Structure 1
Amino acid sequence: MATTTDPAQTPSTGLAERLRVPSRFPYRTIAMGTVGSTLLMIAALGAGGILIKDPVLGHGPLSWVRYGHGRMLANAVLYTGFGLVVWAWVRLGRYVLAGRIGSRPILVAAGCWMAPLLVSPPLFTRDVFSYLGQGAQLLYGLDPYANGPAELDVLPNVVQNVHPLWQTTPAPYGPLFLLISKGVVATTGDNMILGVILMRVVLLAGLAGTLWALPRLVKHLGGKLPVALWLAVASPMMVIHLFGGPHNDLMMLAFLTIGVLAALERKHVVAVVLVTIGMLIKPTAAIALPFLVWMWANHLTGESKVRNFLRAGAASVGLFLPVFVAGTWISLGSLNMGWWSGLKAPQLIANWLNIPTGIGEVFYNLVHLIVDVQVSPFVTVARAAGMLLLIGFGVRQWWLARGGGTEAVYRAGISLLAVAILMPPTLPWYLTWGFVLLSAFKWQPRHLALVVAVSVFVTLVYYPTGEQALYDWWFIAGVVVASLYSAASLLRPDPLGIIDAWRRPEKFLRDQSSR
């Protein structure tokens, strides 16, 4: 007979004991995350990436939520909602580790947690406003790779909501994504609320593609599907950042994962074409292309490995060039290569989340105690050293991938992570580039706990408005504590015994005195 005890209420037992508890659908855990996501959506009206002129609240009776104490209350509700989503995700992870749920509850949970965010203001970012602004430039015959959205003299709502940093900055995205943005703006015009919602709907196609690829990747790469889905689809980085943001990385990942799958299944022409299309959405996908060459070369017959590599390399370049040229021409109406210069734009962002930048800032502060100097030379030198390290690391990973197969996929995944960490800037959602691919491999529980800590940390280091919180040191200290506690909770529910002390104080005190 099935127990009526919620699985998450027996966490003080070991994993072996938990495995003996009958499985059940985690309704309460999914409901907890859904309540949290709903709170995120409601609170974002006052504390998220709100519009300059808000047609929902505006100057009406609820406008107080955007100012003063109302804004403080909205932030409190938003972080409460975030905490509930993370708590639910960690509980779901414990069920996964114990082998007590399959893929279906995870998909249901991710869907329920994303649903309220479909109509939410942007969370922890304002990038979607830039997407719409750059799409509007293309729609009205302007070059988004030459100037920023500030040059537009139409669609005032679109223009004024672009972040000041990106008002005059060329677009750093691939031309195919700008074509998609153009289509969204052509449909929604100057209505920013509909623009954000439609952008999320369009990007859901990317999520669908990743969901299609993951089960098949898991079969090739030796992982477990519930773990992969929990990591790649139900995590705060996916639910809150990539979808709640939203971010175009969601669509790029679909082409990347399906392309890698095609390579594993010996469909190498399809693989190169798909990953090249992913690059035309976000250039980061190009990191995987050299690894696809090794995979192709190892599937060729012939005694000479060098000849096989040259054949695979020539074929890959022969496919890449026409797809790249055609994609650029179709998107922009010309072979406008100005989008390569636009890739420099994100480097304007400088903070210590990017490790080389952080090292440069540390050295600057040490020297600044003695001599009055500028920070820029220190950051520039550290970033240059970081790029050299990244190049060396990437070349080594590529060489280690020469055996092709699953090893090449693994090396591509960690190379994508290295790019996110070492190449400026490092933005929280960039880590999904590598995590989504690596999620299909086998994971140890302690490594999953590390992912929990990283996921919570990188989501919280930006304020809900999209502005960085990285130099608010007391706030960051709280973020670190929350991240570590969340990670510990995956392996041992209630690691500090707080809930046990509240529920059964006599037992808690007795256990403490016996230590």
Structure 2
Amino acid sequence: MDEMATTTDPAPGAPAQAHPAARVRVPSRFPYRTIAMGTLGSLLLLIGALGAGGILIRDPVLGHGPLSWVRYGHGQMLANAVLYGGFALVVWAWVRLGRYMLAGRIGSRPILVAAACWMAPLLISPPLFTRDVFSYLGQGAQLLHGLDPYEHGPAELEVLRDVVQNVHPVWQTTPAPYGPLFLLIAKGVVALTGDNVIAGVIATRLVLLIGLAMMLWALPRLVRHLGGKLPITVWLAVASPMTVIHLVGGPHNDLLMLGFLTIGVLAALERKHAVAIVLVTIGMLIKPTAAVALPFLVWVWANHLPHPSRIRNFLQAGVISVGLFGIVFVVGTWVSLGSFNLGWVTGLQAPTLVTNWLNFPTGIGQLAHTLVNLVITVPESPFVTVARALAMLTLAAFGVRQWWKARNGGNEAIFRMAMTLLATAILAPPTLPWYLTWGFVIASAFPWRRRHLAIVVAVASFLVLAYYPTGEQALYDWWFVVVVLALSVYAAASLLRPDPLGLVGAWRRQPEVPDFVAKD
């Protein structure tokens, strides 16, 4: 669990080959200062979020008290400065941990301690970079009071007005896009906390931490199967700002879905195939995206069957998998909603209301509209609709190709599953920043190249800042985007070489990550 960290040359999914010097060790020292830096950053995120995060319409803590000024005007500007300063410290600390890890100076335990310290203040923070948790509570309140969340929006609820009024205006009248089991969980949270929105947000985070605990249990075992390095996996999947700030600080129900997904994948690799199908189907009843993994698990099962006929093995695994899926799907839906209500399937259309260029096909459509609009005035909608339709066809073709290439099962099937989850997050509308964790968490258990880790640093840093702390998108504030891109690239370069621009000065420069870590 706490082995020294080294990486080898193969990319994720490729066979691991140890470099001759991969066992060289550097004297380790517990990174107290780096962990403290990130913890200070997390505390600043908490403080800044009181004025600049997903604050309440009626705030019982700061609403009319002596500190209410932080929610308005210059006070809110100061809160934003504090919050972004905290974010910078968290990313800086994460990158420093990454350098220590690549140099073999620390193992997985300090990274886990760091992640726990960075998450702790955010458990009681206002929502960060999103307001989705208010939608969770609003839809749970609907189910609690007999209003179908798949037919009505929270605005139609006549009770628990504090909960309802904090739901984002876009989602006030739209059906829930979440699985029925998650709505049952949200119903339980609201039954416990009532109209106390602050208690509801904190309780939701605590429930979602069950998913984090499941990930922490599964990831070391996945690493042993998939050939990665545990410190790198923990650094990518647990200590990343995507997990700390988005999944926990958000919070987002993706964290709970990922818990079931990781344990389900592990169960498949350990030949507990029925358990795997059941667990991933439960994950789908929380967040429907988990369904993408199921066809790949059928190949893993088929390749573990002893019959010499591959077709027979596939049919046997497929039929049993479909049967198990059907049973869990029907029972889970019935228990959650009190009836076999498939309205949540149509509710999946609700997120497509989000249109921005972070979703690649939407961006292509908007760019095409902008160019055509220079010549003739036309509406944007047809361009985006066509681009999204083409992207869905591309995604379907990509998914089918990856699934077919996974026909030999084993680690190859899991790698292609992770790539398909990533492609789904990028090509299917909408693309929200935390969606990329679907594939990253599974991919983190494979071997990684140093330069690919640097790319993850840039992507993770940018994706957190793609939205303002209030949850509104920042993607069309072009000067802001340019600054964020520049800082994200700098953070990525800093993983491979401390102070890449020589800003601190040669006399204070730390040594670069040794060449033996991974030669590119």
**CA distance, structure 2, for counterparts of residue 269 and residue 49 of structure 1:** 41
Change (3 A) 1:490 1:372: same
Q: Secondary structure at the match of 1:290?
A: helix
Residue type of the partner of 2:101?
V
Q: Which residue of the partner structure matches residue 28 of structure 2?
A: 23
**CA distance, structure 1, for counterparts of residue 46 and residue 487 of structure 2:** 21
Q: Which residue of the partner structure matches residue 76 of structure 1?
A: 81
Aligned pairs for 1:64-143 within 5 A: 64-143=69-148
Q: Which residue of the partner structure matches residue 214 of structure 2?
A: 209
Residue type of the partner of 1:407?
E
**CA distance, structure 2, for counterparts of residue 56 and residue 501 of structure 1:** 48
RMSD of Structure 2 on Structure 1 (CA):
1.3
Aligned pairs for 1:197-346 within 5 A: 197-346=202-351
**CA distance, structure 2, for counterparts of residue 251 and residue 456 of structure 1:** 22
**CA distance, structure 2, for counterparts of residue 405 and residue 398 of structure 1:** 13
**CA distance, structure 2, for counterparts of residue 417 and residue 406 of structure 1:** 17
**CA distance, structure 1, for counterparts of residue 263 and residue 129 of structure 2:** 28
The answer to whether the 8 Å contact 2:236/2:444 transfers is yes
**CA distance, structure 2, for counterparts of residue 40 and residue 303 of structure 1:** 58
TM-fit CA distance, 1:59:
1.3
Aligned pairs for 1:481-500 within 5 A: 481-500=486-505
TM-fit CA distance, 1:98:
1.0
Residue type of the partner of 2:85?
T
Change (3 A) 1:160 1:502: farther
**CA distance, structure 2, for counterparts of residue 46 and residue 247 of structure 1:** 21
1:171 paired with 2:176, answer yes
**CA distance, structure 2, for counterparts of residue 379 and residue 166 of structure 1:** 21
Whose relative contact order is higher, 1 or 2, with alpha carbons under 8 Å and at least 6 apart? Answer: 2
Q: Which stretch of structure 1 is more off in the superposition, 20-29 or 384-393?
A: 20-29
Residue type of the partner of 1:153?
E
Which consecutive unaligned segments of at least 5 residues does structure 1 have? 1-15, 505-515
Q: TM-score, normalised by structure 2?
A: 0.93
The answer to whether the 8 Å contact 2:26/2:104 transfers is no
Q: Which residue of the partner structure matches residue 166 of structure 2?
A: 161
Q: Secondary structure at the match of 1:431?
A: helix
**CA distance, structure 2, for counterparts of residue 375 and residue 318 of structure 1:** 44
TM-fit CA distance, 1:47:
0.3
TM-fit CA distance, 1:302:
1.0
The answer to whether the 8 Å contact 2:152/2:174 transfers is yes
**CA distance, structure 1, for counterparts of residue 25 and residue 347 of structure 2:** 56
Q: Secondary structure at the match of 2:375?
A: coil
Percent identical pairs in the alignment equals 77
1:408 paired with 2:413, answer yes
Aligned pairs for 1:364-513 within 5 A: 364-500=369-505
Deviations along 1:264-289, one digit per CA (max 9) or x if unpaired, are: 00000000000000000000000000
TM-fit CA distance, 1:60:
1.1
Deviations along 1:382-408, one digit per CA (max 9) or x if unpaired, are: 000100100000000000000000000
TM-fit CA distance, 1:500:
1.3
**CA distance, structure 2, for counterparts of residue 20 and residue 420 of structure 1:** 38
**CA distance, structure 2, for counterparts of residue 270 and residue 127 of structure 1:** 31
Question: Which segments of structure 1 move beyond 6 Å, counting only runs of 4 or more?
Answer: none
The answer to whether the 8 Å contact 2:25/2:104 transfers is no
**CA distance, structure 1, for counterparts of residue 246 and residue 507 of structure 2:** 34
Q: Secondary structure at the match of 2:285?
A: helix
Q: TM-score, normalised by structure 1?
A: 0.94
TM-fit CA distance, 1:260:
0.4
- Number of aligned residues: 489
Which consecutive unaligned segments of at least 5 residues does structure 2 have? 1-20, 510-520
**CA distance, structure 2, for counterparts of residue 349 and residue 466 of structure 1:** 12
